[in-house]
Amino acid sequence: MEKDEAAENNMPGMAKVVERNIKASLKRRKLENEANTTEEKVADVITRFAGSIHPEKVMDTMDKHKEDSQKGQE
């Protein structure tokens, strides 16, 4: 039980360290993004968009189009 109490007592200090690290990481990322060339910024946008696409939905859409085109040929 003493370990739990000690851990609870260290949490405020730990929280401050974590918060400081998060802020430093966000600041670093912002500076890196501002330094990116136009090409890198465009590549980032394309990458985020491609990452947001759900492959199963793409496959379902392709299957539906394939079925529709086969029906049209009959």
Q: Whole-angstrom Cα distance, residue 63 to residue 59?
A: 6
CB 44 within 8 Å of CB 36: yes
The model scores a pTM over 0.95: no
18's tokens: 């974590």
User: For residue 34, what are the CA distances in angstroms to 25, 55, 59?
Assistant: 14, 31, 36
State the CB neighbour count (10 A cutoff) for residue 28. Answer: 10
pLDDT exceeds cutoff 90 at 66: no
Q: Dihedral (C-alpha) 11, 12, 17, 22: value to the nearest 10 degrees?
A: 90
* pLDDT bracket for residue 69 (50, 70, 90): confident
Confidence of residue 58 (pLDDT cuts 50, 70, 90): confident
Higher per-residue pLDDT: 17 or 74: 17
